């Protein structure tokens, strides 16, 4: 199997007839990586199929004392709580005695306090009970592609979660705070933030390698309710030394670096209690994208959720790196890369020939390397019989949620 260096030399030989010099190196690197990504999207290749899992997070009620909140206030204090180190996420539902409503957590300013999205209408008290409901949103495995499905064994047998679009979910009138065994999921965004700051916070930047000095890390997000960014440069003497941003970010959208790093660059918030992002080893990169899903109902216990998916391949960085498609794909990568380089250089002779050879190679690969699809990877459009979507085969309506289903079945 050819490594990155071998692929580069062969592409240079075929496209430029010259393996010497370095003037085409960057172009060849880009062409090879873009070709790998292109080929990975062509079909459900067996070599890219993966299975991983994540654990759900159930209710949080930690604390040595009662909750305290004033009438018409949005700040709840909880004696003895460990909200930050307990990794409680903004957006989770919280129930406070004395008020019949459910609230969403807006920020977590400290270990023992949180703010809610609406004013508390109950009577001022320092002897309240509270419950932070289970976590709804989760990150899928890193590099998880768009072909995937979720399943668990909470019922004693493999059960596949049903995908539901937001429009159908809202139309179904399902209550967001219903708890039970998850039966449905929704795709909900993608960003470079592993976690969001739990409140507006100065961000810290450091590397796992001492040698990563003077590397510019650009953070894009929200500062004082407006889009903003800041360039934070790693320590000039020791890359592992933490450097702080000068701005406080309440939301992070993207994190990128400007040059090669030897180690992993980590960005944290809330006094390092929150890991906002990690940028992998290697040359300049856009970072890792995290796809996120929301589960319904909210998990009433810790359930392992299995994820079967086709992964997006990692980019090649170092000369010794080997791509994840497998050695049978070497020729296809070289042919497509060569066609791209010739096309970019306006070398009309051979461009069409190499692309035609690539198409022929791809047909052969499809016959021998494509996975036998045992699920249909499609996303449904909204507003299609939404009233029936939460009625799961083999389950009672009471198992799906007490607020859903015909009255006679509840």
User: Structure tokens of 241?
Assistant: 């030394």
Q: Is 388 exposed, middle or buried (0-12, 13-18, 19+ CB in 10 A)?
A: exposed
Q: How far apart are the first and last CA of the chain?
A: 60
The pLDDT score that the predictor gives to residue 132 is 94
Count other Cβ atoms within 10 Å, centred on residue 150.
23
The residue whose two tokens read 């400007």 is 258
The pLDDT score that the predictor gives to residue 405 is 46
The pLDDT score that the predictor gives to residue 5 is 92
CB-side neighbour CA atoms (13 Å) of 96: 32
Q: Higher pLDDT residue, 304 or 13?
A: 304
Cβ neighbors of 144 (< 8 A, separation 6 or more) are 52, 291, 307, 309, 311, 312
CA 201 to CA 384: how far, in whole Å? 42
Split at pLDDT 50, 70, 90, the class of 387 is: very low
Check whether residue 331 and residue 253 sit in a common domain: no
Q: Higher pLDDT residue, 235 or 21?
A: 235
The pLDDT score that the predictor gives to residue 70 is 93
Is 211 part of any domain? yes
The pLDDT score that the predictor gives to residue 155 is 94
* Number of structural domains in the chain: 4
Check whether residue 224 and residue 178 sit in a common domain: no
Check whether residue 161 and residue 205 sit in a common domain: no
Q: Is the Cα torsion angle 103, 197, 253, 311 positive or negative in sign?
A: negative
pLDDT digits (tens, 9 = 90+) for 324-380: 999 999 999 999 999 988 887 665 566 788 999 999 999 999 998 987 655 555 555
Is 316 part of any domain? no
Q: Higher pLDDT residue, 28 or 349?
A: 28
Q: What residues are paired with 95 via a beta bridge? A: 102, 131
Question: Residue 383 above 70 pLDDT?
Answer: no
Check whether residue 20 and residue 111 sit in a common domain: no
pLDDT digits (tens, 9 = 90+) for 279-316: 888 765 656 788 899 999 999 999 999 999 998 888 88
Check whether residue 180 and residue 226 sit in a common domain: no
Cβ neighbors of 110 (< 8 A, separation 6 or more) are 83, 84
Closest CA to 119 of 187, 71, 62: 71
β-pair type (67-69, 125-128): antiparallel
Check whether residue 12 and residue 143 sit in a common domain: no
Is 375 part of any domain? no
Is 320 part of any domain? no
pLDDT digits (tens, 9 = 90+) for 240-275: 999 999 999 999 999 999 888 889 999 999 999 999
Check whether residue 221 and residue 267 sit in a common domain: yes
Q: What residues are paired with 74 via a beta bridge? A: none
Q: Higher pLDDT residue, 347 or 175?
A: 175
- Residue 263 belongs to domain spanning: 201-288
Is 147 part of any domain? yes
Is 378 part of any domain? no
Is 218 part of any domain? yes
Question: Residue 32 above 80 pLDDT?
Answer: yes
Phi, psi of 151 (to 5 degrees): -155, 160
Check whether residue 160 and residue 303 sit in a common domain: yes
Check whether residue 179 and residue 307 sit in a common domain: yes
The pLDDT score that the predictor gives to residue 409 is 37
pLDDT digits (tens, 9 = 90+) for 203-251: 999 999 999 999 999 999 999 999 999 999 999 999 999 999 999 999 9
Region 169-187 average pLDDT = 89
Closest CA to 218 of 228, 208, 207, 210: 228
pLDDT digits (tens, 9 = 90+) for 38-52: 999 898 899 999 999
Q: Higher pLDDT residue, 36 or 167?
A: 36
CA dist 327 → 1, 68, 323 (Å): 5, 63, 8
**Chain centroid, CA 210 distance in Å:** 28
Phi, psi of 196 (to 5 degrees): -90, 150
Check whether residue 284 and residue 303 sit in a common domain: no
Q: The whole model's pTM is what?
A: 0.82
Check whether residue 305 and residue 393 sit in a common domain: yes
Question: Residue 382 above 70 pLDDT?
Answer: no
The pLDDT score that the predictor gives to residue 402 is 52
Check whether residue 123 and residue 71 sit in a common domain: yes
The pLDDT score that the predictor gives to residue 373 is 59
pLDDT digits (tens, 9 = 90+) for 68-108: 999 999 999 998 899 998 999 999 999 998 888 899 999 99
Is 192 part of any domain? no
């Amino acid at each position: 199997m050819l490594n990155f260096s071998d692929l580069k030399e062969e592409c240079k030989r075929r496209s430029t007839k010259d393996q010497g010099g370095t003037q085409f190196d960057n172009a060849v690197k880009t062409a090879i990586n873009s070709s790998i990504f292109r080929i990975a999207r062509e079909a459900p290749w067996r070599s890219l199929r993966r299975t991983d899992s994540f654990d759900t997070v159930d209710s949080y009620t930690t604390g040595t004392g009662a909750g305290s909140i004033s009438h018409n206030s949005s700040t709840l204090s909880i004696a003895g709580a460990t909200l930050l180190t307990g990794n409680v996420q903004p957006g989770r539902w919280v129930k406070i005695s004395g008020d019949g409503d459910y609230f969403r957590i807006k920020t977590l300013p400290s270990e023992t306090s949180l703010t809610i999205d609406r004013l508390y209408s109950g009577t001022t008290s320092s002897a309240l009970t509270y419950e932070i409901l289970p976590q709804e949103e989760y990150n899928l495995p890193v590099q998880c592609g768009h072909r995937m499905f979720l399943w668990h064994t909470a019922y004693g047998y493999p059960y596949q979660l049903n995908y539901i679009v937001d429009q159908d979910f809202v139309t179904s009138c399902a209550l967001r705070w219903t708890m039970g065994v998850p039966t449905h999921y929704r795709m909900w965004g993608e960003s470079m933030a592993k976690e969001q700051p739990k409140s507006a916070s100065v961000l810290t930047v450091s590397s796992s390698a001492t040698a990563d000095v003077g590397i510019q890390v650009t953070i894009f997000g929200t500062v004082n309710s407006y889009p903003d960014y800041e360039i934070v440069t790693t320590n000039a003497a020791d890359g592992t030394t933490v450097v702080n941003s000068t701005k406080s970010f309440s939301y992070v959208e993207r994190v990128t670096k400007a040059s090669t790093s030897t180690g992993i660059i980590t960005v944290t918030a809330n006094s390092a209690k929150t890991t906002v992002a990690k940028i992998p080893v290697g040359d300049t990169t856009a970072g890792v994208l995290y796809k996120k899903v929301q589960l319904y109902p909210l998990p009433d216990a810790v359930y392992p959720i299995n994820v079967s998916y086709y992964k997006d391949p990692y980019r090649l960085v170092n000369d010794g790196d080997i791509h994840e498609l497998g050695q049978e794909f070497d020729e296809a990568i070289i042919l497509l890369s060569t066609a791209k380089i010739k096309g970019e250089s306006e070398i009309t002779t051979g461009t069409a020939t190499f692309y035609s050879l690539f198409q022929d190679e791809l047909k052969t690969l499809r016959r021998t390397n494509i996975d036998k699809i045992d699920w249909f990877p499609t996303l449904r459009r909204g507003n299609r019989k939404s009233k029936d979507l939460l009625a799961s085969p083999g389950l009672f309506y009471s198992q799906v949620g007490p607020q859903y289903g015909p009255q006679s079945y509840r």
